[in-house]
Chain A
Amino acid sequence: MASTTAAAASQPAAPSLALPPSQFARLQPHAYLLAHLSPPASSQQPSIRANGRAPSQFRVTSANTGSLTHTNGSAVVRVGDTTAVCGVKAEILHTEDIASWSVSHSSSSPSNKRRKLTNPTEKPGEDREDGSKDDEDDDNSYIEDFSLLVPNLSLSTGCAPGFIPGAPPSALAQSLSHQILSLLHSSRLVRAEDLEIWYQRPNFGAEELERHNEGEQMDVDAGPEAEEANLEAREIKAFWVLYIDIMIISLAGNPFDAAWTAVLAALRDTKLPRAWWDVDNETVVCSDLVSEARKLSLRGLPVASSFGVFEADAAAGWRAVVIPDAEEERKLAESERKGIQRRWILADPDGYEEGLTQERVSLVVDKTSNGKVKLLKMEKNGGFAVDRKELKDLVDISARRWDDINQILQRC
């Protein structure tokens, strides 16, 4: 503590300091960043981060999609010096390979069928409504139950010195993979209906049924009835499974935002070939024509933005995290009143800043077409500094970030 204040104090007398800035940054990282953020009033310099950004400024972001040949969709996203490459590869999961499929679905559908058969006078419209509702419910459960989205993030690409290539995924890589997976599930970004491969049974049975019905009751409208039978004859034969692999090629802080943006861009780029069930071969066959392939229709555009909280008190990170000290809070409030800032919320921290911040906030927001901001995920850990008021500000900043990312993704 004493040394940092001394260093901060000695900053104005920079000429006497024989160290070049880069070395000073390495030796006294905290004091270095603090000196940048709270320059002495006499120096007339604005408060700015060591990397030249304003506290709420994100790094320059660029994205490029569709450059990898062997993928269904791919993207390279650079956020400053952090680079993430994401490739989506689609494979097919036959329902016969799903162990629980026959249990959960064949048991439910026959009962359904039986009900319909025994009670042909039932209004078909009602039933279909039910069915569609079921679909909506199934939507998430299909993707989650059968793990149709498989994101994996790899850091062992030599992206930073700490990660040994060839070693099993580090704790950070595992946690990032799971964060991406849970965000994919909770944001419901991918629609299950895009991943379903249906089979329409040829309509022999339906005609028979129709004739049978006609015999029973003459005036039943045959049109919807046939359609109903058609619906019944349709069944899901397979699913597309999207393997979403993210390679962090270069790591310089905030890997989550870069990785998520890469996933988003790659999924927007993903094209699935037209696929159908081939009865003779008893397998799913795809069409090779690009004209028949279709893109995924994603739900919205969730954009992630992360923040770190930098405390002027260098010891703040060392102290055990306990209930915030009333005394200290009072002091902070007082200094706030005096116009001395003791705490900075830094958007998109780079690797240097990440080592100096304890408290992290991660937000995922989406904007509806009428400009309403939807909050999809909010995660905060490591401290007490960010309160309701600050979070509100951060949501605003994230909403602005959404506009930027939206533009960047539209362009590529």
Chain B
Amino acid sequence: MLKRAELSKSPPKANSANFLKIVDSALAATTAPSFKSLLFDRSRSLKELPAVETCVMTDRRRINGPPGGTRPPVFSSATVTTAERPQRQRQPNELRKIFLKTGLIPSASGSSYLEFEPSASLSAARASPKFITPPSSSLKLACTVHGPKPLPRSATFSPNLVLTTHVKYAPFAARKRKGHIRDASERDLGVHLETALRGVIVAERWPKSGLDITITILEAEDDRWWGDAPDSHDAAWGMMNVLAGCITAASAAISDARIDCLDLVAGGVAAVVADETPDGTAARLMLDTDPAEHQSILSACVVAYMPARDEITELWLKGDNSKAAVGTTDQNLSHEALIDGAVDAARGAHSVLAEAVRESAMRFAGLSSGTA
């Protein structure tokens, strides 16, 4: 807030020479620390530029908004109070429908598009919109696979296929506008995805080659219901659903690119949620949770699972469910139960995945017979 106020004092359209002059005067007055850092970075050589400076530099290649910055809209509380938290209409072990299609991007060697079925509240809101703020959102992402292709000359020798994963949110994917440069959570997703897939691909079949997997998230899952205040114990729960979707979509795209795999790996999410019911708070295990539908999520788990081999290539467990487990002495809320739940969810996703891959294979067979 302070920074913005300071920035707004400078004329926005100053050219570089002018700008530096203003910065100098600002420095003399020693009122603007933000300017000081800017000037400091500029005088440095290109090699030792910190991350902040690269932001500034890449932003020059984009069209930037107003220099003073903009604020996301704030909605009046008069109408917000009438909005209600969306309710989960599914059974605890019922998954959302998944739409998965391969081969939508012809220039890539493999591609897939994945979409979760909108939850009941969202589809109701779509049908007869009352509020501008949607109650929840459903995952939509596109995945492309380029390769296997030769590694660049500069790369060192690798006896295996070198896997590169890249996950990026579209700027309009989340409730809050995302930047153009990958942030920490997006890098994190990329690393998780890479571990999930590395165990599946038979990498030694392609020495000295690389495989690029790129995922663009067009619409992400919410981390919590928008009406809830940000809580100290809430985490990026939506990210786990996104990761599960990424794993399933990437698996379909890799098979679409005809890369040898051990099995079709599918992603699944389960969570222990605590919702307030008329008779107190009850912790329950749910599959494929939409974070917007629950008051609080105690812990969640996402797995990348290969059903045919009964192996897990990636496991990510977040949160603390010890309290819930102790309170009820219920074995159904232990970590093992949570992981089993996630595996069940992955099994469900696998059936959709197998269907999509079959479709892709049919298309390939048709194509090859057509040209031969």
Contacts and interface: CB of A to CB of B under 8 A. Distances in A.
B360 interface: no
Interface in A280-315: 283-291, 293
B130 A290 contact: yes
The main secondary structure of chain B at its interface with chain A is: loop
Interface in A175-213: 177-178, 181
Given A68-B140, A251-B107, A147 B65 contact: yes
Interface residues of A, number: 70
B371 interface: yes
A168 B8 CA distance: 27
B40 interface: no
The main secondary structure of chain A at its interface with chain B is: mixed
Given A70-B175, A166-B168, A150 B65 contact: yes
B157 interface: no
Nearest to A92: B71
Interface stretch (A79-87, A224-232, A382-390): A79-87
B21 interface: no
A154 B11 CA distance: 29
Interface in A76-96: 81, 83, 85, 87-94, 96
Interface stretch (B29-37, B196-204, B214-222, B280-288): B214-222
Contact of A285 (B58, B72, B74, B371): B74
A349 to B, nearest CB: 15
A288 B133 CA distance: 7
Given A69-B122, A98-B66, A87 B171 contact: yes
Interface string A258-297: 0000000000000101010010000111111111010000
Contacts of B212: 158, 165
Nearest to A247: B170
Contacts of B171: 87, 89, 152, 243, 245
A166 B4 contact: no
A65 interface: no
Nearest to B146: A161
A328 interface: no
Interface string B175-219: 101001010000000000000000000000000000011111011
B172 A91 contact: no
16 contacts: A81-B107, A83-B104, A93-B66, A99-B67, A147-B66, A150-B64, A157-B142, A158-B166, A161-B149, A177-B63, A245-B171, A251-B107, A285-B76, A286-B132, A289-B132, A290-B129
Given A99-B10, A147-B66, 19 more contacts: A68-B172, A69-B137, A70-B175, A83-B104, A89-B172, A91-B71, A92-B71, A97-B4, A97-B8, A150-B63, A151-B63, A158-B146, A158-B212, A165-B212, A166-B182, A169-B62, A249-B104, A273-B132, A275-B73
Interface of B: 4, 7-13, 57-58, 61-76, 79-80, 83, 104-108, 111, 122, 129-134, 136-138, 140, 142-146, 149, 166, 168, 170-175, 177, 180, 182, 212-216, 218-220, 371-372
